[in-house]
Amino acid sequence: MSKLVYIQAIVKETLRLYPATPLSRPHEFNQYSIIDGYYVPKGTRLITNLWKIQTDPKMWPDDLLRFKPERFLTTHKDVDVRGQHFELVLFGSGRRACPRLDFGIQMVQFTLASFLHAFQVSTISGNAPIDMTESFGLTNVKATPLEVLIKPRLSHKLYG
């Protein structure tokens, strides 16, 4: 997987644009704080809009809403998903980061690579773009069903 850098870029870009949960889970301040000049009292609950951060034009100035995995091979190649780069916080950060982050990312990359290796994928309507509109809620879900044709690259006897 370490040599499949474009697969890694595809996964990062997909999760940047379509995070599994666009809002972080609530965090409670255990002492008063001042953030950017604002007084935040102890006991305040904070829910961070991760999707907004990951589509901030200051952080992603070029085509921020366009699916462009190449940005993780050039301008954002050093950005990783482990919570150290706050423009891409997919699984939390610090002590509150997801403990299975590495396993989850590896499995997504492996599954995508295996799928693309085994199948040819095309749209039903030829070259028409796929509608990627999502519905709003606690998780990101496509508003319309995905309609694609999947054809095995090898003989069906090899997929037993």
Residue ranges at the known binding site for heme? 98
Q: Which two tokens stand for residue 55?
A: 């589509």
Q: Which two tokens stand for residue 138?
A: 């606690």
Fill in the DSSP letter of residue 131.
Answer: -
Could you tell me which residues come within 8 angstroms of residue 126 by beta carbon, excluding any fewer than 6 positions away? none
Backbone angles phi, psi at 15, to 5 degrees: -70, -25
Binding-site residues from annotation: 98
